[in-house]
Amino acid sequence: MTYPAPARALDGGEADVRARSEALRKDLSLRDLVFAQILFIVGLQWVGVAAKQGPAHVIFWLIAVALFYLPSAGVAIWLNKVMPLEGGLYQWAKLGFNEFMGFIVAWNLWVFAILNMTNVGLQFTQYLGYIFGPGVAAFMAERWVIATTTAIVVGALVWLTIVGLRIGRWVHAAGGILMIAIFAMVIVLPWINVANGSLAEFHPLRTATPVITLLSLNLLGKMGFGAFAGFEYVAIHAGECRDPARSITRATIVAAPLIVLMFVLGTSSVLGMIPVDDIDLIAPIPQLLTRGFGSLGAVAAIAPLLLSAMLAIRFAQASVNFAGSTRLPMVAGWDNLLPSWFTRLSARYRTPVNSILFVGATTFVISTLGTV
């Protein structure tokens, strides 16, 4: 395998990373990586952001695909092929530049992952309040309930990550399947309403010439850098993949068109059923499902099931995020940029148990401070 010429000569450190990666369990298959990419990249709010562009959203999605999505996917595929190492982006920056640059990249990615999980307890309490009704919602709004829920969810993430991806990958697969099912429902719901007579017409790929304004460019940036970012994240687990150079490449090739279709057709459904000025930028999917099934007279029966599915998806997304964030302190410890304490593997599960416990404690503390 030919490696790119980095800024400094490679020494025995790379061989040590390869040796340490070999000590990890090889649990991730092509299917697992496809679901992990779908979970990490697809956010339920982005179809609402894109729908604010009106019929021009199709053109803007294509621009985002051409200028950001395909280039970022191509770069992630290439870097993973030449450096299929546990730690992913950290290793690429370290070997391509230097250890300091690698540490800064890992630090920023780690902080992003932690902050992305700090509201998971609040989200769970909100969803449970919607599922069980106003009486429970008032109870779930109590701060001590939110803190307790956060502790339970983070504790579950810690346990699942310690046990390892041999179990976690099934959680990710279930979340990925539910994500695809939710979007499939979103895509067909306008057609069901047309057949039922509750929607006059529906043209999913109707488009218009984009109007270039500061707002439209702002939304385009969110559709590119926000909605389409994340292909590089699963490469953090390269040392835990079966044939990482090949499987991560194939997973990206499979997941990329699926994600594009989910975003474009999902946005079309939101725009087809909800007036632009009424679109909920925070929760456009629940808004669409409530309105779509409400016109069919089935919203009372279907809403708790849909909210439960979305709660399961959120946990699976948090698990993907959490597992990746626990590997970054481990690989930094391999290079002596952090204490070797972070590198200790569980004798039974071959997972970085100390790093997992540290990330779990940090997540809980930051979440609790945010609640207070």
Least confident of 134-138, 288-292, 325-329, 334-338: 134-138
Residue 5 lies in a domain: no
Helix (H/G/I), strand (E/B), else coil: 241: strand
Q: What's the mean pLDDT in 142-150?
A: 89
Tell which residue, 132, 108, 156, 147, has the closest CA to residue 316. Answer: 156
Q: How many CB atoms lie within 10 A of CB 234?
A: 32
Mean of pLDDT over the chain: 88
* pLDDT surpasses 60 at 336: yes
* pLDDT surpasses 80 at 371: no
- Report whether 234 contacts 33 (CB < 8 A): yes
Residue 59 lies in a domain: yes
258-261 own/partner pairs: CB under 8 Å, 24+ apart: 258/34, 258/38, 258/180, 259/37, 259/38, 259/41, 259/42, 259/228, 260/61, 260/65, 260/69
Q: What's the mean pLDDT in 257-279?
A: 93
- Report whether 363 contacts 112 (CB < 8 A): no
Residue 251 lies in a domain: yes
Residue 2 lies in a domain: no
Residue 14 lies in a domain: no
What's the pLDDT at 184? 94
What pTM was estimated for this model as a whole?
Answer: 0.87
Specify the CATH number for the domain of residue 56.
Answer: 1.20.1740.10
Integer-rounded Cα radius of gyration of the chain? 22
* pLDDT surpasses 90 at 363: yes
* pLDDT surpasses 90 at 372: no
Domain containing residue 37? 26-371
Tell which residue, 294, 291, 302, 322, has the closest CA to residue 36. Answer: 322
Q: For the segment 72-128, what is each residue's pLDDT rounded down to a tens digit?
A: 999 999 999 988 899 999 999 998 899 899 999 999 999 988 888 888 888 888 888
Instruction: Give the CA angle between residues 190, 191, 195 to the nearest 5°.
Output: 120
* pLDDT surpasses 60 at 162: yes
Residue 1 lies in a domain: no
Q: How far apart are CA 182 and CA 176, in angstroms?
A: 10
Q: How far apart are CA 104 and CA 285, in angstroms?
A: 36
- Report whether 356 contacts 209 (CB < 8 A): no
Residue 243 gets which letter from DSSP?
S
Q: How far apart are CA 275 and CA 312, in angstroms?
A: 29
* pLDDT surpasses 90 at 6: no
What's the pLDDT at 12? 52
Q: For the segment 191-244, what is each residue's pLDDT rounded down to a tens digit?
A: 999 998 888 899 988 888 888 888 888 888 888 888 888 888 889 999 999 889
Residue 18 lies in a domain: no
What's the pLDDT at 300? 67
The total of structural domains in the chain comes to 1
Q: How far apart are CA 144 and CA 341, in angstroms?
A: 33
